[in-house]
Amino acid sequence: MYRSKGLKKIVTILIVVITLILILWPFFYIFVSSFKPLKEIMARAKFFPKNLTIRNYRTLIIARTPVRNFPRILYNTLVVSSLTAALSIVVSCISAYGISRNRRLKRGMVSRLMLFIYVFRQSYF
């Protein structure tokens, strides 16, 4: 009995580690590739860069063209996501207050429908 619990724990840890490696590998590869010069990326060179460079990051932050203005794009993203989150919280709080104050809605179809919605993942349009 003791041996099977230990074996089960080892197998579980092994599965978790393999899953983490499979999930994190693309992020690690992108991070390492970001330090490669463009020539090395296009040439499909070795995994680790021969010449480490931060030129890609300098180009990303410094280059300002109408198409490539990273600080402005990042600012716009933060503003839109913050306003969306704030609006979602306000609407959710108002709805939750209304449902909690109405006894028929709490016991009835609305609460069942909300529970049913939470069972399935959201689809994005």
Instruction: Check whether residue 50 and residue 105 sit in a common domain.
Output: no
Q: In whole angstroms, how far apart are CA 73 and each of 57, 81, 82?
A: 15, 12, 14
Instruction: Check whether residue 75 and residue 104 sit in a common domain.
Output: yes
Please tell me the predicted confidence (pLDDT) of residue 75.
94
Over 70: is that where the pLDDT of 85 sits? Answer: yes
When pLDDT is averaged across residues 103-112 and rounded to a whole number, the result is 70
CA 114 to chain centre: 25
Instruction: Check whether residue 58 and residue 79 sit in a common domain.
Output: no
Please tell me the predicted confidence (pLDDT) of residue 47.
80
Domain count, the chain: 2
85 against 1, higher pLDDT: 85
Burial environment of residue 15 by CB neighbours within 10 A (0 to 12, 13 to 18, 19 or more): exposed
Average pLDDT of the residues of the chain: 84
Domain that holds residue 89: 71-125
pLDDT band at 87 (very low <50, low <70, confident <90, very high): very high
